[in-house]
Structure 1
Amino acid sequence: MNRILQNSVLLLALLSFNFGYSWGTTGHRVIAEIAENHLSGKAKRSLKKIIGTEKLAYWANWPDDIKSDTTGVWKPAEQWHYVNVAPQSNIQQFTEALKEQKGPNIYTQIKILSEQIKDRKTSAKDREIALRFLVHLVGDAAQPLHVGRLEDLGGNKIKVNYFGAPTNLHSLWDSKMVDFQKYSYTEFARVLDVKTKEEVKSIQLGTLEDWFFDSHREANRIYANSKPDANYAYDYNYKFEPLVERQLLYGGLRLAKILNEIL
């Protein structure tokens, strides 16, 4: 635990912001379930040594659950769940802006955690904790507003209504649109995970930076089509349900690629 946390530098101003949770319990479990469906035999064996017989979906929400811890031990990890990048139109400018972000964030931590899991010198307990975080953070990275904008805290400050209930844009994308589909996480994973092997390989192409830019572009599209204080219902769901499904699927398949490479 200490080895993981020592990579984090506290940014007090950022920690004072109230960022929303991510994908909700269902969304993260969908991503974890899809990822587990695409693990290699070697990765499955390594995974069993790290977390035993429990499924990835079991641990997918643990990094959000520990936000309720009152000891302060996990406080530095709160800023691992997101990164804020001003709107960028091309991958080069985006990558530069992404790497210029100060302090630990979702991008830096996915890289650090991957190396810790890969490193055989990492203790068994630290590898397990790193794996719990990695499963969750790769899922977060697929939620476009976790690669959103600082001025509105990834949509947290943009108040909207969804089917008459007050919420904010970030929460709408974290959980409400996923829950609106009325699937269990296993059902959702089953209906989404139907791509051919060739299509899966295509989705898994690219670098971590490419995947972050993919989410960033979708975040820009969400911002462009979401207005403060708007009342959204079936129309918004109709417009963006395909993107919700895409991001859940892509998050799961890309998580599988990372795990297959490091385990």
Structure 2
Amino acid sequence: MLRRLLLPLLALAGAFATTPAAAYWEYGHETVAKIAYANIDARTRAAVDRLLAQSALLETPTCPAGTIEQASVWADCIKALGPRFSYAYNWHYQNVHVCEPFDLKAACKDGNCVSAQIERDVKLLQDDRVPVREKVQALAFLIHFVGDLHMPLHAGDRGDLGGNRVPAGYGIFVTERLNLHSIWDGPLAERAISTPPSLVHRYPADEAARIAAGSVEDWSRESWQVSRDFAYTSALGEPCIPQEERAMLSNETIAELVPVAKRQIERAGLRLARLLGEALGS
């Protein structure tokens, strides 16, 4: 019994020790991509496959992007390549303060934020004048960034690097490497994805259209609100009052957050499917 209890904790500890900071880690991003791939039409799927088949043009052999699952984590993988892609570091998030009125423009000055880059990538994919190499890169960025936008702590911030400066405990698991951001990136996202029913399937057209409706700014506001109302509030009680003690997410709180995290991943997948269709389907 003790061995069965310890193994998951040891695995989780190993993940924190060896995994670089990456939004939604691999499991989350790959699941978003799989949902999208299952919900695009044949023409869009063929266009995605044609572009990714030319991913060697990216010249990042240590960061492959030949499949939609590989492409979904490419933008995190290239962080290890140093100065070559350092210009894209700020594109993974947007620091919209949860204790102030929603203001996307202030957080996205000069387009250096995730929502602005999503819109830019769609435009690049729609433009026949753009070279193939740039289209492949735009596609890989788009697949990743839609997932990033729906990770609440990439869309809402409290002056603490999206929860990275909020030490937190996950159930009985506590370590110095664990913070509120990493919980939503990793163990909470993984539990949400692995909790039945599976999110990866073909959704009825009316349901997919309903979930995917709205603009990128609408989705930004929605994720910002999830960050404020769920991510921060569940950990801190009142998100706008400074707190020095470690935030502790009880097992009961985690269970309540699973449907929230699950819904965000579902939204990301279906909205990515819609954007892929708009960018490549016609």
TM-score by length of 2: 0.77
Match of 2:104 in 1: 98
Question: Which amino acid in the other structure matches residue 41 of structure 1?
Answer: A
Residue 84 of structure 2 is matched in structure 1 by: 73
Is 1:257 paired with 2:274?
A: yes
Tell me what 1:237 maps to: 254
CA contact (8 A) 1:84 1:147 kept: yes
Distance 2:48 2:202 in 1: 24
Q: 3-state DSSP class of the match of 1:39?
A: coil
Alignment of 1:165-244 (within 5 A): 165-166=174-175, 167-180=178-191, 183=194, 190-191=198-199, 193=201, 195-221=203-229, 222-227=231-236, 228-244=245-261
Cα deviation 1:91-113 (Å, max 9, x = unaligned): xx63xx10233231111111111
Query: For the residues of structure 1 that align with 2:113 and 2:90, how far apart are their CA atoms?
Result: 6
**Identity in percent:** 28
The residue aligned with 2:76 is: 64
Give the whole-Å Cα distance in 1 for the aligned partners of 2:202 and 2:137: 30
Indicate the larger mover: 143-152 or 130-139. Answer: 143-152
- SS of match in other structure, 2:169: strand
CA contact (8 A) 2:212 2:271 kept: yes
Cα distance in 2 for partners of 1:165, 1:25 equals 22
The residue aligned with 2:32 is: 31
* 2:33–2:68 CA contact under 8 A, matched in 1: yes
List gaps (5 residues or longer) in structure 2.
1-19, 55-65, 237-244
Q: Which amino acid aligns with 2:141?
A: F
Alignment length (residue pairs): 236
Counterpart CA distance in 1 for 2:200 and 2:260 is: 12
Structure number with the bigger relative contact order (C-alpha 8 A, sep ≥ 6) is 1
2:67 maps to which of 33, 51, 55 = 55
What RMSD, in angstroms, separates the aligned Cα atoms of the two structures? 2.3
Larger Rg: 2
**TM-score, normalised with respect to structure 1:** 0.83
Which of 173, 194, 197 is the matching residue for 1:164?
A: 173
Distance 2:189 2:200 in 1: 13
Q: Is the 8 A contact 1:117 1:127 kept in 2?
A: yes
- 5+ residue gaps, structure 1, are 1-18
Question: Against the structure 1 CA distance between its residues 182 and 84, is the aligned structure 2 distance closer, same or farther, given a 3 Å change threshold?
Answer: closer
